[in-house]
Amino acid sequence: MGVHDELVYLAGGMTTLDGPYQDAVTTVTAFNTTSEKWQRLIEAAANVPEGRQHAGRVAGTLFTLLEAGARRMPTPRGGLAGTIAGAKLYTFGGETNQQTVTGVFDDVEAFDFKTREWTILKLMTVPRHGSSAVVVGNKIYIPGGGLQQDGLTVVVDGIPHFLNTTNHFDVFTV
Q: Which residues are CB-contacts of 21 (< 8 A; sequence separation ≥ 6)?
A: none
- Global pTM reads 0.68
Cα distance between residue 140 and residue 133, in whole Å: 6
Q: Could you read off the pLDDT tens digit of each residue along the chain, which spans 174 residues?
A: 777 888 888 877 776 656 556 677 788 888 899 998 989 888 888 887 777 665 444 333 334 444 455 678 889 888 889 998 999 999 999 998 999 988 999 999 999 989 988 999 999 999 999 888 999 999 999 998 888 887 778 777 888 877 777 888 889 999
Q: What is the total residue count of the chain?
A: 174
- Under DSSP, is residue 44 helix (H, G, I), strand (E, B) or coil? helix
Q: Is 58 exposed, middle or buried (0-12, 13-18, 19+ CB in 10 A)?
A: exposed
At 43 the three-state DSSP class reads: helix
